[in-house]
Structure 1
Amino acid sequence: MPDREAAQDQALRAAEKLFYSHGIRAVGMDAVRNASGLSLKRLYQLFPSKEALVLQFLSRRDRQWRQALAHYVDTHTTPEERVIAVFEWLHTWFSEPDYRGCAFINSFGELGGTSPEVAAQTRRHKQAFRDYLVTLVTATGRPATLGDQLVLLAEGAITTAAITGTAQPATQARDAARLLMLTYAQHNQAHPDVGQ
């Protein structure tokens, strides 16, 4: 019998694939048992309820998603390149054959109204992404308000790509981000004292 940590990982890998592919409500604990190879008794020892499993799935997804994004962005040198790299990474993500949009938006859509914990985890994930992108933007010398605008571009691209089944929204959002960055840079050159 696998130790607790290995069994949790086994269950979470199975649950993530099922929840992300089919939706949370459509997947019962029996399906997770079958996909993970763990007994139902063992599953409930590890996760006392389906909601506990969902919350762990979201926590793991948050950590992995943000690490993958940061790892990609960190391969770029200049502050401007690092901002644009966010949208390039989104394009790569959208191009994955099993892309179904944001797991947090999907989970919030299914459970946000009935599970305060799922709603809170979704808000924390989105806030962490916003904070990260704003940090990248302010490192270019541009204001945090531009970061907020780019977050909306990214979030719109994430949803649109899921609906349309194409990675094109990432390219469109990247181009819009470049234009906004350029506009702010030109505005600051023309009005260097504004916003000081």
Structure 2
Amino acid sequence: MRASKRQLVVDKATVLFSKHGFQAVGVDWIIDDSGVARMTLYRHFSGKDDLIREVLLQRYALIIGSIEVRLQGLEVPEERVKAIFDWYGDWFATPEFAGCLFERALAEFGTEYPKVSGVAIQYRDKMTSWMAELLGDLMPAPDAKHLGEVFMMLLDGATVTARAANDPTPASQAWAAAEVLLRSTKT
């Protein structure tokens, strides 16, 4: 079996999970949409939960890699943090945007199922610590950590609002709020 079939299953599952949720999409639906045999899916994934985990791991790598590219060449800490908010705004404007798979995983599975929720928590921790690290050049570490957590909450809210309103502007609104908080913390 070729790796491309495996990736086809992951790609189709990603689209279906994004649009309809993890619980609503069954293995048969994924098999039908990807055009692979049931045996093909189970050769690569022991079950739906393994497939969900792979979808989340690939989404994690894609987002983190994309944001890293966005940050390249930016030296000013505020510009680097703003670039993360801008990345979210660009993501919200894509036709594929259907909300955050990590938040959906937490909503559907809770934190008690680490096989799936562990990747979602890893994403949140990475984003929060990343912002805290960038803010650490502007303020003491405890303040940077706290503000990084608040900025992640702003991005979470912007993501939900962007999906509900089918509007990419909540990312810039979240950045405006983050900027006010950043200025008040620096003074």
TM superposition score normalised by structure 1: 0.86
Q: Give the aligned CA root-mean-square deviation in angstroms.
A: 1.8
- The one of 52, 55, 60 equivalent to 1:54 is 52
In structure 1, give the amino acid aligned to 2:168: A
Worse overlay, 160-169 or 47-56? 160-169
- The one of 38, 41, 45 equivalent to 1:40 is 38
On the 8 A contact 1:55/1:117 being kept in 2, the answer is: yes
Which residue of 1 is the match for residue 65 of structure 2?
67
- The one of 16, 32, 40 equivalent to 1:18 is 16
Q: What do the CA deviations read for 1:168-187 (whole angstroms, capped 9, x no partner)? A: 211111111122222222x2
Structure 1: give runs of 5+ residues left out of the alignment.
188-196
On the 8 A contact 2:151/2:178 being kept in 1, the answer is: yes
Residues in 2 aligned to 1:135 and 1:114: alpha-carbon distance in whole angstroms: 28
Residues in 1 aligned to 2:99 and 2:71: alpha-carbon distance in whole angstroms: 20
On the 8 A contact 1:138/1:147 being kept in 2, the answer is: no
Give the number of the structure whose alpha-carbon radius of gyration is greater: 1
Which residue of 2 is the match for residue 89 of structure 1?
87
Aligned residues: 184
Residues in 1 aligned to 2:27 and 2:109: alpha-carbon distance in whole angstroms: 16
Residues in 1 aligned to 2:118 and 2:40: alpha-carbon distance in whole angstroms: 28
On the 8 A contact 1:79/1:136 being kept in 2, the answer is: yes
Q: 1:166 to 1:181 in 2, by over 3 A?
A: same
In structure 2, give the amino acid aligned to 1:27: V
User: Percent identity over the alignment?
Assistant: 28
Residues in 2 aligned to 1:54 and 1:119: alpha-carbon distance in whole angstroms: 10
Residues in 2 aligned to 1:15 and 1:46: alpha-carbon distance in whole angstroms: 13
Structure 2: give runs of 5+ residues left out of the alignment.
none
The secondary structure found in structure 2 opposite 1:48 is: coil
Residues in 2 aligned to 1:77 and 1:167: alpha-carbon distance in whole angstroms: 26
